[in-house]
Amino acid sequence: MKKLEPLAWVGPAVLLIAAVVIWPVIEMVRSSFLQISRFGVVREVNFPANYDKLFAEKDFADIMVRSVVWVVAIVLLTVVISLALAQLFNQRFPGRKVARWALIAPWAASVLMTAIVFKWMLDPEVGVINLIRRDLGTFVQKVFGIEPSSLGLLSTMGGDAADQLGQAGTAMPWLIFVGVFVSVPFTTYALLAGLATIPADVYEAARMDGASKMRTYWSITLPLLRPALTVAALINMMNVFNSFPIIWAMTRGQPGYDTATSTIFMYVLKNANLGESAAMSVVNFGMVIVLTVIFLRVSRWNREVA
Amino acid sequence: MATTTAPSRAAHRPAQHGRPRGARRMPKLKTTLIAALAYLIGFVFLFPYLVMVLIALRPQKELRTAQWFPDTWDFSAIAGFWSGGLADNLLVSLQVAVGSTLLVLVVALPAAYYTARHDFKGRSLFLVLVLITQMFQPTAMVVGIYREFFQFGLVDSVWSLILVNGGFNLAFAVWILNAYFSSIPRELEEAAFIDGNGRFGALFRITLPLAMPGVITALIFTFISAWNEFVVALTLSTSPENQPLPVALHSYMGQYSVDWQGLFAGSVIATIPVIILFALIERKVVGGLTAGSIK
């Protein structure tokens, strides 16, 4: 009886994980070996036809490359920006609590809602980002007498009535921007928690030794921040790789598949060919594992070098 | 990283390093600049949500004019939300969020408590299983989830969404509750037990109240992520009346004449309460999210 006791306490949790997390993984792999009709009827085992078809898609290679770029770009930018923000928000200043609180919003809000607002803000006619560009341009022209179109920064924000989400070249940077925007808050908070664990006397000692601020940051803060940084970056990587709502709400991966990542492609395929979509999921899954292993290797390698 | 002990207060005291005496003359200006920059950044991160509110309050006929603020403020979209069709979807969202929160409570609480208090065969295996779950995302396996619930005939049902959201948020709840239970001295519970409270009496009178901050954090966190979940809901709920609010708002956007004001009124209602709720637990969430990964 005593032996069965743990089962009563822990059993339900195991059962729930098995039913909702493990089972779908098995089902996903199994489906990738099957030909399934649009109505969900399994026709036959057709391994490896789904994979062959997937790899033969003419956009497949581009999509995979884009997925990696998407993840690496967002995680890198997020980490760099968050390191700076954590440093800033760790300073003492009046109203720090309120300022930190404002930072929470994109983390708490649903990513889909954020993406929808950004889509609106990028509206070529009435979007706020276009308004900023227009007003800034007028301001520059009035005050400095410079023709706004000659300024690189302003024209990168889009020309008059240019639909920035309509072309891959301008849409991708905005999608990545939104990806960074929703990832920075959590990362900053994780780094702030990490900063809080660094004992003050370490800095005291550095000061005694006459180390400069830059030097202190590089040799003390950053190495001591590494555990927090590694975990935050890893969690970010998982989130970004599986990030669906940003691209889906803003461009649907269009034009063509020019802004699609593997997750978007998987979803598009789901309605056309479930088996092939499952194959895409399996490839996706493998990719997450590979990226994770590479990331952990790199961060360990850093530790050995340091 | 010491954030594994979730309740530690000291962890939030900033590590401030002293300034050399000579630099004392400048601090006022420096603090002002730092504060100004921090407020500006805070504003940037709030900005999209302010825009959301502005559009929800802008009358339909002004929507296609390029201006910052509405000429007339119009609260009809927010007021009319409750009588419109989206109110049903809000109800579905509530059912899913409350349902999965209750499910997580019932399932995670005993598991976290038992693993914190007892060493048993398979304990570490269980913790590893939970850790792996935390790394998994429903988006990655949405095809598998769809196939599974299709076979059970549970597509287009609130129950499947409750199960999925409950399952994927279990890890966070187990980790944070486990940390709380571990931090409560066993002796405290034993003393209550000896005083004749019985095992469950001691648990309910002593341990649970002490772990309350952790319980509340786990509950709010689950509620918010179930409330915000999109991909699984988009895949599983096919009929409009069974769709949670995010999915309904999303399909709203796909229509020919988009009622942007209505859409953003819905977004405001779906977003603002969640941001406020989240602010209540923010301090503990980071610890809970990162704790599992480094243990």
| Domain chopping of chain B, boundaries | 93-242+274-289
Give A45's strand partners: A34
Q: Is residue A183 part of a domain?
A: no
ipTM: 0.85
What is the pTM (predicted TM-score) of this model? Answer: 0.85
In chain A, which residues have their Cβ closer than 8 Å to the Cβ of B164? 20
Is the Cβ pair B143, A281 closer than 8 Å? yes
Contact list, B130 vs chain A (CB under 8 Å): 13, 17
Confidence of residue B277 (pLDDT cuts 50, 70, 90): confident
Token pair 């990331």 in the structure block, residue: A295
| Tokens standing for residue B184 | 């409560």
CB atoms within 10 A of CB B57: 20
Pick from B16, B42, B294: CB nearest A99: B42
At B284, the pLDDT band (50, 70, 90 cuts) reads confident
Chosen from A4, A17, A41, A183 to mutate, greatest number of chain B CBs within 10 A: A17
pLDDT for B226 equals 92
CB contacts of B108 in chain A (<8 Å) are 13
Counting every residue written for chain A, the total comes to 306
> Using an 8 Å Cβ cutoff, are B137 and A238 in contact?
yes
DSSP, residue by residue, B217-229: HHHHHHHHHHHH-
pLDDT of residue A176: 95
**Residue B72: how many CA atoms within 13 Å on its side-chain side?**
7
Please give, rounded to a whole number of angstroms, the shortest distance from the CA of B17 to a CA of chain A: 6
Considering A119-123, B142-146, B192-196, the range whose residues carry the highest mean pLDDT is B142-146
Dihedral of alpha carbons A282, A288, A291, A296, sign: negative
In whole angstroms, what is the distance from residue B140 CA to residue B149 CA? Answer: 16
Residue A44 placed within a domain: yes
Q: Which of B113, B144, B167 sits opposite A27 (nearest CB)?
A: B144
In the 3-class helix/strand/coil scheme, how is B132-196 assigned residue by residue? HHHHCCHHHHHHHHHHHHHHCCCCCCHHHHHHHHHHHHHHHHHHHHHHHHHHCCHHHHHHHHHHH
Q: Which of A255, A282, A259, A281 is nearest to A270 (CA)?
A: A281
Exposed/middle/buried for residue A42 (C-beta within 10 Å: 0-12, 13-18, 19+): middle
Are A20 and B145 an interchain contact pair (Cβ–Cβ within 8 Å)? yes
User: What CATH number does the domain located at B93-242+274-289 have?
Assistant: 1.10.3720.10
What is the distance in angstroms between the Cα of A165 and the nearest Cα belonging to chain B? 15
Mutate to test the interface with B, among A14, A112, A284 (most CBs of B within 10 A): A112
| Within a domain: A14 | no
- Sort residue B84 into left (φ over 0), alpha (ψ -120 to 50) or beta: beta
Task: HSE, CB side, 13 Å, CA atoms: give it for residue A49.
Answer: 11
Q: Which of chain B's residues have a Cβ under 8 Å away from the Cβ of A242?
A: 137, 139-140
Q: How many whole angstroms separate alpha carbon A237 and alpha carbon A233?
A: 6
Q: Which of A160-169, A240-249, B54-63, B87-96 is least confident?
A: A160-169
Q: What is the pLDDT of residue A306?
A: 46
Residues 6+ apart with CB under 8 A from A7: none
How many CB atoms neighbour CB A212 within 10 A?
9
Nearest-CA distance A144 → chain B (Å): 24
**Number of domains into which chain A is organized:** 1
Binding-face residues of B in 187-216 toward A, CB within 8 A: none
Which residue does chain B place closest to A113, by CA atoms? B267
Query: Which of B290, B293, B294, B295 is most worth mutating to test chain A (most A CB atoms within 10 A of its CB)?
Result: B290
> Could you give the angle at the alpha carbon of A254 between the alpha carbons of B62 and A105, nearest 5°?
55
Helix (H, G, I), strand (E, B) or coil at A40: coil
Closest by Cβ to B224, choosing from A16, A108, A238:
A108
Nearest-CB residue to A103 (from B45, B285, B293): B45
Out of A184, A185, A227, closest to residue B294 by CB: A227
Q: Are B275 and A105 an interchain contact pair (Cβ–Cβ within 8 Å)?
A: yes
Residues of B in contact with A118 (CB under 8 A): 48
**Neighboring chain A residues of B133 at a CB cutoff of 8 Å:** 17, 21
Which of B80, B41, B66 has the alpha carbon at shortest distance from B268? Answer: B80
> Residue A27: which of B126, B147, B168 has the nearest Cβ?
B147
Interface contact B278-A116, CB threshold 8 A: no
The CA distances from residue B115 to A19, B152, B204, B287, B290, in Å, are 21, 32, 17, 19, 19
CB contact under 8 A, A20 and B163: yes
**Residue A234 lies inside a defined structural domain of this protein:** no
Query: Both tokens of residue A216?
Result: 């202190």
Q: Inspect the interface and report whether the beta carbons of A112 and B227 lie closer than 8 Å.
A: no
The secondary structure of chain A in percent helix, strand, coil, rounded to multiples of 5, reads 75, 0, 20
In the stretch 88-147 of chain B, residues with CB closer than 8 A to chain A read 103, 106-108, 110-111, 113-115, 118, 120-123, 126, 129-130, 133, 135-137, 139-147
In a domain, A291, yes or no: yes
Residue B8 has pLDDT above 70, yes or no: no
Domain span at A284: 25-56+261-299
Share of chain B above pLDDT 70, in %: 86
In a domain, A50, yes or no: yes
Has residue A223 been placed in a domain?
no
Q: How many CB atoms lie within 10 A of CB B256?
A: 4
- Please tell me which residue of chain B has the smallest CA distance to A202: B17
**Is the CB of residue B179 less than 8 Å away from at least one CB of chain A?**
no
The whole-number pLDDT of residue B42 equals 93
Which residues in chain A have their CB less than 8 angstroms from residue B142's CB?
266-267, 270, 281
Residue B275 touches partner A, C-beta closer than 8 Å: yes
Q: What residue spans of chain B are helical by DSSP H?
A: 27-56, 76-80, 86-117, 123-135, 142-151, 158-183, 186-192, 198-202, 208-210, 212-228, 231-236, 245-253, 260-294
Q: Which of B115, B144, B230 sits opposite A25 (nearest CB)?
A: B144
- Amino acid letter, B294: I
What is the rounded CA–CA span in Å between residue B249 and residue B84?
13
Name the DSSP letter for residue B4.
Answer: G
The answer to whether B270 and B223 are in contact (CB under 8 A) is no
For residue range A104-133, list pLDDT tens digits in order: 889 888 899 999 999 888 887 777 887 787
Q: Is A135 inside a domain boundary?
A: no
Work out the angle at residue A98's Cα, subtended by the Cα atoms of residues A132 and A122, and round it to the nearest 5 degrees. 20
Closest-CA residue of chain B to A235: B135
Helix (H) or strand (E) segment spanning residue A26: helix A23-31
Taking CB atoms and an 8 Å limit, are A245 and B263 in contact across chains?
Answer: no
What does pLDDT average to over chain B?
81
Each residue's pLDDT expressed in tens, for chain A with a length of 306 residues: 667 888 889 999 999 999 999 999 999 999 888 888 877 788 887 878 888 888 888 898 999 999 999 999 999 999 999 999 999 998 888 888 888 888 888 988 889 999 999 988 888 777 788 778 777 777 877 777 766 555 555 555 555 556 788 888 888 999 999 999 999 998 998 898 888 888 888 888 888 888 888 888 888 888 888 888 888 888 888 889 888 999 999 988 888 888 999 999 989 888 888 889 999 999 998 888 888 888 878 777 665 554
Is it the case that residue B241 has pLDDT exceeding 60? yes
> Under the phi-then-psi rule, with left for phi > 0, alpha for psi from -120 to 50, and beta for the rest, what region is A99?
alpha
